[in-house]
Amino acid sequence: MDRTERFYRIELLIKRQSGVSFEQLLSELEVSPATLKRDLQYLRDRMDAPIVYARDENVYRFADGGAVAVNGGPAARPGAKTHELPGVWFSEKELHALLTMHQLIAGLDDGGVLGRHLQPLLDKLHGMLGASGDEAQTLMRRVRIVNPAKRAVASRWFEEAVSAVLSRRRLTISYYTRSKRSESERVLSPQRLLHYRNTWDLDAWCHASGGLRRFALDAVRTAKVLDEPARELPMSEVESALDQGYGIFGGARLRQATLHFSAEAAPWVAQEEWHPQQQLTPEADGSLRMRLPYSDHTELVMDVLRHGPNVRVLSPPELVEQVREQLQQTLAAYGDKAAES
C-alpha cells in the first residue's frame, strides 16, 4: 500500500482498537520500523493527528479519548478537539457500504467495462481496510447479487452509448427490432441511460422517426459516436414522453387499471412499487386494491399473471380481456404439449 493508504490504516487501527502497539502496526502495514516511525511523526506534525504513546501500556492511541472524526463525523467527547485527515476519507462502515456498492456495479457490468476502471478504487478500499487478497475475496463473497433473466450488452457498444450520452454527441447505431425481426440504421441524439429489469436501455431522439424512442442496448449490433452535437431536449420532456406508462413502455394515452390482491399476496404487494403513481387501498379482509396508470398492457399483463390466482383485474374491461386471452393461449399451449406427449 502507498503512504496515503498507510496513514488511513494507522488511524483506523488505532481508532478500532483504542490503542495499538508498534509491533502490531508493523505487522499490519508490512513496513520497516524506520518507515513506520516517519509515518507516525508525519501524522502528528503535518496532519495534526492527536496520536500519543502510552508508555505504561506500550500502545499508541488518540489523545482526549479518541476525539477523531472520519469524513466529518463527531468527536468522541464533547468539547474535545476534532481531528480529520484531509481529502476524501471514509469510516469503516462507509468502506463496507462502498464495497457493497462495488458488488452491485459488478452485477450490472457484463463485459467488465466499469470493473476495469473501478479496480484501482477497489484495491484501495481493501488496502484501507487492511484486507489481504484472500481476505478481500472472502469479504466480497458475503454479498451476492443475483440478476435473473439478465440480457447482456456488448461492452464496446455500451461504452459508445455512455460516451455519447455524457459528451452530448450523436450516436449512429445498427439496431435489431425483435418484433419485426429486421435490422435498421439509426442516428440518435442520446438523452439518458436507463437500467431496468437487469438490462440497459438508451432513451434518445431518433432522427429517422422524428421522436423520442427507447432502445434496448442488447439489440444494438454496432454503434459509433459522431462529432455532431446531440439535439438537446428538456429532461421534463423526456420523462413526460417515456416515463408515464407502465414499466418500460411509454405512451401519452394513459388508462387506469384496478387490481385486487388476495389477503395472502397483500403483505408482499403492499411493499412493492409497481408504478410511482400507484394508489393502494387495504380492505377489511386483509386483501388489497391497487390502482395505477398504464399505456401499453404488455408488461402489466405479465406482472398480473406472475401472481396467478392471488390477483384479479377489476378494470378496465379491455385489460380483463387481455389477461383472459393470455391465460387461454397459455392453457392451449400446455394442452397441445400434453396431447403430443
Residue 65 has pLDDT above 60, yes or no: no
Q: Distances in Å between the alpha carbon of 148 and those of 151, 220, 245?
A: 9, 21, 24
In this structure, of 82-96, 170-184, 228-242, 275-289, the range with the lowest mean pLDDT score is 82-96
**Residue 177 pLDDT > 60:** yes
Q: Please spell the DSSP secondary structure of 232-247, one letter per residue.
A: P--HHHHHHHHSSSST
Higher pLDDT, 72 or 233: 233
User: Which segment of 75-84, 142-151, 277-286, 303-312 scores lowest on mean pLDDT?
Assistant: 75-84
Given a cut of 80, is residue 246 above it in pLDDT?
A: yes
Residue predicted with more confidence, 12 or 183:
183
- pLDDT tier, 122 (very low <50, low <70, confident <90, very high otherwise): confident
Q: What is the reported pLDDT for 80?
A: 46
Residue 320, pLDDT above cutoff 90: yes
* Residues 237-252, mean pLDDT to the nearest whole number: 85
**Alpha-carbon gap, residue 315 to 54, rounded angstroms:** 75
Residue-wise pLDDT for 199-239, tens only, equals 899 999 999 999 999 999 999 999 999 999 999 999 999 99
Single pTM value for the model: 0.64
Contact 288, 282 (CB under 8 A): yes
**Contacts by 63-69 with C-beta closer than 8 Å and gap 24+?**
66/15, 66/18, 68/11, 68/15
